[in-house]
Amino acid sequence: MLINKQIGFIGGGAMAESIIRGILHAELVMPSQIMVNDISCERLAYLNSTFAIATTPDSQEIIKQSDIVFLTVKPQVIANVIDTIAPLVPKTTIVVSVAAGVTIATLQSKLAEVPIIRVMPNTPVAVGEGISAMALGKYATKAISDPVAEVFASVGRVVTVSEDSMDAVTGLSGSGPAYAFVLIDALADAGVRVGLPRQTSILLAAQTLMGAAKMVLETNEHPAKLRDMVTSPGGTTIAGVHVLEQKGVRAALIDAVVAATERSREMGKR
């Protein structure tokens, strides 16, 4: 679906780099089909030497050259970016924003009748195991969104949600890697506490969480059922699960997602 499509990135930071790496690794496009804009000449030089892609310090050049434009900039600068490019964006260009908290309506007010897609990816896209939630604007049909979904599928998995779910997505999967890192760190500390070397503990903890997550995704079984499969009567696992329930770990994780969701809503109102 991306054959003969020119792809542009306004903002050449870590997210843009992850997406570029993913689509090139999946061979969805050739390097000659990609152009990146950034305010840092050093960053542009790095991206050019790493991926053999075109770069430019001029964001308007991205609009002139691209069929799909990814806005991979920080939320606090996106207003200036839109003001700069809006006069040049044709109605045939697909605009994809990954700026957290910036609504489709905000973008659409400056980009009339342009198909806009808002995406919330999370940081594991950097290793090809992210999850990206897409919300489609008024003019973004399924035929328009399919190539964008293909791009994000190259760095993980993709779901389509209504835009009013984006704050909840942010609270769960957007912030979720941080929760997982806390769990891995705590499990590794526990391993050290019971006598394991630090690096061995980190490896055991990280691989255990990754394996458990893969079982959920590949078996399509409910996590509670998979938990029951490893929880023998009177065994070690139920003893550990009992302590987790006593200490309120489940409630703490629920509260963390709720708090992050509410914070996302507050930020979106600014």
Residue 112 structural domain = 7-164
List, for residues 208-245, the tens digit of each pLDDT value.
999 999 999 999 999 999 999 999 999 999 999 999 99
Confidence at residue 194, expressed as pLDDT on a 0 to 100 scale: 98
Q: Which residues are annotated as a binding site for NADP(+)?
A: 10-15
At residue 45 the predicted structure's pLDDT band, cuts being 50, 70 and 90, is very high
Are residue 100 and residue 199 in the same domain, yes or no?
no
Count of the separate structural domains present in the chain? 2
Among 146, 164, 182, residue at a domain's last position: 164
Are residue 144 and residue 12 in the same domain, yes or no?
yes
**Residue 227 CA, distance from chain mean position:** 27
Are residue 12 and residue 120 in the same domain, yes or no?
yes
Are residue 152 and residue 183 in the same domain, yes or no?
no
Are residue 203 and residue 262 in the same domain, yes or no?
yes
At residue 197 the predicted structure's pLDDT band, cuts being 50, 70 and 90, is very high
Structural domain contains residue 200: yes
The enclosing domain of 125 has a CATH number of: 3.40.50.720
Q: Which residues are annotated as a binding site?
A: 10-15
Are residue 202 and residue 122 in the same domain, yes or no?
no
At residue 172 the predicted structure's pLDDT band, cuts being 50, 70 and 90, is very high
Are residue 80 and residue 110 in the same domain, yes or no?
yes
Whole-prediction pTM value?
A: 0.91
Q: What angle do CA 246, 248, 252 make, to 5 degrees?
A: 170
Structural domain contains residue 252: yes
Neighbours of 41 (CB within 10 A): 10
Concatenate the DSSP letters of all residues of 70-136 into one string.
EE-S-GGGHHHHHHHHGGG--TT-EEEE--TT--HHHHHTTSTT--EEEEEE-GGGGGT-EEEEEEE
* pLDDT at residue 269 tops 90: no
Structural domain contains residue 91: yes
Q: What is the mean pLDDT of residues 182-202?
A: 98
Structural domain contains residue 253: yes
Spatial distance between the Cα atoms of 197 and 186, rounded to a whole number of angstroms: 14
Are residue 94 and residue 223 in the same domain, yes or no?
no
Element (H, E) at 172: none
